Structure 1
Amino acid sequence: MGIEYSLYDPIVFNILYAILRLFASVLCLHNSTRFECDESHGLVMITSTAISLMMMSGVPFPEFWVRKMRSFYVIFDRDLDGLVQREDYVDWPVGRANKNMTPEKAESLYGLVSSAWDVFWAGEEKRKSVTIDQMVKEHSRTFDTQSSFHESLEKWLEICFDDVDANDDGCITLEEYTTFLKCYGVHPYSVTPSFEALDTNHDGLISKEEFKNAGRDYFKVTADTPAKLFWGPFRA
């Protein structure tokens, strides 16, 4: 009887990861316009390829990535009924934004989260409520190289940064990030660890690049990285 190997087995996955990492390095050397050859992007690209193979094989998603999705989901499931309604995802944070942000920024945030619900949560069925399993499945499109998820996420992060940057000076202060996370129910006392995690050069400010890198890594990288604090305390 032959030995059966699972792609989800740690040994097999690590071998696959090493092969993909070598392959990615070659691609970076020969196609610098398509792939950014920094460590962060390399991890994203390799992980996406590996997870795409996993999806085709029908194996479970990596545990820590699922935990990140679960941590994000519970922000909105405030009544603990196992469902996130559109009102939970859109109206609740926007209502808080109206109290904590300028009218212009709050209006922009409304458009941002409304489109995010349609693109990242509602799916082709145009759901009005979403379970955790449905949410995980929708967000797993980030690993599908044929999906527009990545481009949509990049645009979302670009606009989101501008909304958080209250005075439009091109960077985010601790006060501005506190205001943003307050819209999602994060207590001001809990924001500093998240801010420090995003401020990778430790200059006391979050640049657009730092913000987008953390937001991208939250949804695309399966490893345990500081980006897990993008939405405040890790809840899962």
Structure 2
Amino acid sequence: MALSIVRFGLRTVINFERNAAVLSVASATKQFKLLHTQPTCNGSVCYLDSERELQRPRAALRRYSKQHGRPEEDRRKDSDSDSDSDTECKGFERSEFWRRKMRTVHNILDVDKDGLISFNDFLLFAERFKSLGHLDEQQAQEFISIIKLTWEEQWGAIDPYNFVTVEQYLEDMHHVLNDKTLKKKAHRWLPYLFKAVDKDKSGFISVHEFKLFFQCLGLDNEHAAVAFAVIDVNGDGKLSQKEFVKLGRDFFCSEDETKVSKMFWGPLIN
């Protein structure tokens, strides 16, 4: 009997030491992974892959940012794409001039002027150009589809509680410009704006047709005439679709205050 008790005690000690060794190895392995895991960044925050794994159950709750913008899960997912520069993990490094331009576009896209961009604002914005009647049925359908896809890719869910503040718009556009994939797709609706105001379908827009563009942006004809005189650098009195799209894209991408593209979306706000 005494011998059995001694054997049981020895077996218990051995099992305890074996389990302790396994736990020690597992802990060391986890620490090794943490030390050698590459960080993933979303434009303002960097995560270790292991940290993201721990956060996935929480992400299922679809937490929104404090500005009620895109879900944080969607914002992290976009960061897997390649970056145009190495500034993606360094937060905001854009000039005040660029910020003024982005605030200008946010104000234009905020069609109902409540200080927030919603998907309904996007639809109202698109409807202004559609209502000119210069897009055929197929072009109009494509335009709305691209507007919808752009919203989903940049700001997530289409629902009445998903809003984009000025601060959120600045952050998201900074992220878009640092991501090759998103940057290529971000302004693919620009050709449809051109086609919508190309009243005579000549493939060029005149100053009079450019005034239609500004009217759809909620701006007056005087601003349109001034802007057109500046961006029509060769003085031929017309803009091709290629010129129009390039000016529109340069407005978002450039921080050069001497570029004429700064006039494309009208007077800059403070």
- Same fold at TM > 0.5: yes
Flag the 1:133–1:162 CA change in 2: closer, same or farther, 3 A. Answer: same
1:64 is aligned to 2:88: no
Computing the radius of gyration over CA atoms, which structure comes out larger, 1 or 2?
Answer: 2
| Among 160, 169, 190, the residue aligned to 2:202 | 169
Which residue of the partner structure matches residue 191 of structure 2? 158
| Among 211, 216, 232, the residue aligned to 1:178 | 211
In 1, distance between residues paired with 2:133 and 2:265?
Answer: 18
Flag the 1:119–1:101 CA change in 2: closer, same or farther, 3 A. Answer: farther
The within-5 A match list for 1:63-212 is: 63-77=96-110, 80-91=113-124, 93-102=125-134, 104=136, 109-120=143-154, 122-123=155-156, 128-144=162-178, 146-153=179-186, 155-212=188-245
In 2, distance between residues paired with 1:79 and 1:155?
Answer: 23
Q: Percent of counterpart pairs with the same letter?
A: 28
SS in 1 for 2:188: helix
Residue-by-residue CA offset, 1:72-118 (whole Å, 9 max, x unaligned)? 11123355543112112222x23433543336365554344333333
Q: Flag structure 1 segments of 5+ consecutive residues without an equivalent.
A: 1-47
* CA apart distance, 1:129: 1.4
Cα pair 2:135 2:195 within 8 Å, conserved = no
Flag the 1:205–1:63 CA change in 2: closer, same or farther, 3 A. Answer: same
Aligned length: 183
* CA apart distance, 1:156: 2.9
More helix by share: 1
Cα pair 1:154 1:216 within 8 Å, conserved = yes
In 2, distance between residues paired with 1:81 and 1:154?
Answer: 24
In 2, distance between residues paired with 1:116 and 1:211?
Answer: 19
In 2, distance between residues paired with 1:103 and 1:143?
Answer: 29
Q: Flag structure 2 segments of 5+ consecutive residues without an equivalent.
A: 1-82
Flag the 1:165–1:132 CA change in 2: closer, same or farther, 3 A. Answer: same
Higher relative contact order (CA 8 A, sep 6+): 1
Flag the 1:143–1:88 CA change in 2: closer, same or farther, 3 A. Answer: closer
* CA apart distance, 1:135: 1.2
Cα pair 2:133 2:196 within 8 Å, conserved = no
Which residue of the partner structure matches residue 67 of structure 2? none
Cα pair 1:94 1:106 within 8 Å, conserved = no
CA RMSD of aligned residues (A): 2.7
SS in 2 for 1:84: coil
* CA apart distance, 1:62: 1.9
| Among 219, 227, 235, the residue aligned to 2:261 | 227
Residue-by-residue CA offset, 1:150-201 (whole Å, 9 max, x unaligned)? 3214633334333332332211111222112211211122211222232121
